Amino acid sequence: MEYVTIFGRPFPVYGLCVLAGILLAAATILVRGRKEERDLDFLTFLCACVGLYVGAKLLYLITIAPRLIERPELLRDPEFIESIVSGGFVFYGGLIGAVAGMAIYCRAMKRRFLAVLDTLIPCAAIGQAAGRVGCHLVGCCYGIPWSGPLAVTYPVGEHAFGGVPLFPVQLAESALLVIIYVVLMLLGRRREGFASGLYLVCSAVTRFLLEFVRGDAERGIFLGLATSQWIAIALFAAGIWLLTRRARKGNET
């Protein structure tokens, strides 16, 4: 189900889920900023959204680059070009882009980057959770063949494993991200970098493990691991660094 009809007009399901994620993230900013009395304007959020879009699209293009090199004729296929323009995003690219956008904004406005990131980081979890629901509905990022409980089956002809029960990897990741989101929202104010570090560690472990039950091919594979798994390893290390560095700094002061 790639489109849904609303008031007689077709809308892309994935786009609607992304929009829902953005709205949930905006609501999170209002609640978290008010609850913790943090000064956070929506220009920061806007910069993060722009960086998210650019980063997610760029990393997707990087992952499909080998396919385009092997089959350059795809660049002359209008349907393929339309699919790249309207879809094709990699969350980790979006996360890196969003952080870069916030860093540029914070530097320009002379604001504490980690304090802003800690406030915004739950948005990454809830936004990604909504996006994964969209992946499930349109059938991208699907799982490996699976005959166990909660298996999902897509129509024949629409996806590589159409008609075959698959592991619901998108919904599993979405559920785990909602749990991470709730934990981050309940933490409240902590030392700078703690919430961000905790998110990086938890989401990296989640993504790294779930990649093993992904069945789609467009993920980019290097030395037996998917592109997202290599990024997860780097983000896990960054999260551990944030947690331990800030803990040591807090103990020293």
Q: At residue 158, does pLDDT exceed 70? A: no
Q: At residue 116, does pLDDT exceed 90? A: no
**Residue 243 token pair:** 């947690």
Q: What is the pLDDT of residue 199?
A: 94
The stretches of the chain forming alpha helices (DSSP H) are 13-35, 42-70, 78-86, 91-109, 113-138, 169-187, 194-210, 227-252
Identify the CA nearest to 232 among candidates 93, 58, 116, 124.
93
174, 131, 210, 139: CA torsion to nearest 10: 110
C-alpha torsion sign, points 70, 222, 174, 146:
positive
Q: At residue 232, does pLDDT exceed 80? A: yes
Q: What is the pLDDT of residue 56?
A: 81
Question: Which tens digit of pLDDT belongs to each residue from 37-95?
Answer: 455 556 777 888 888 888 888 877 777 777 777 777 777 777 777 666 666 677 778 88
3-state SS assignment for residue 195: helix
Q: What is the pLDDT of residue 205?
A: 96
Confidence of residue 252 (pLDDT cuts 50, 70, 90): very low
Query: Looking at the whole model, is its pTM more than 0.85?
Result: no
Q: At residue 179, does pLDDT exceed 60? A: yes
Angle, to 10 degrees, between the axis of helix 91-109 and the axis of helix 113-138? 150
* Measured distance CA(160)–CA(142) in Å, rounded: 9
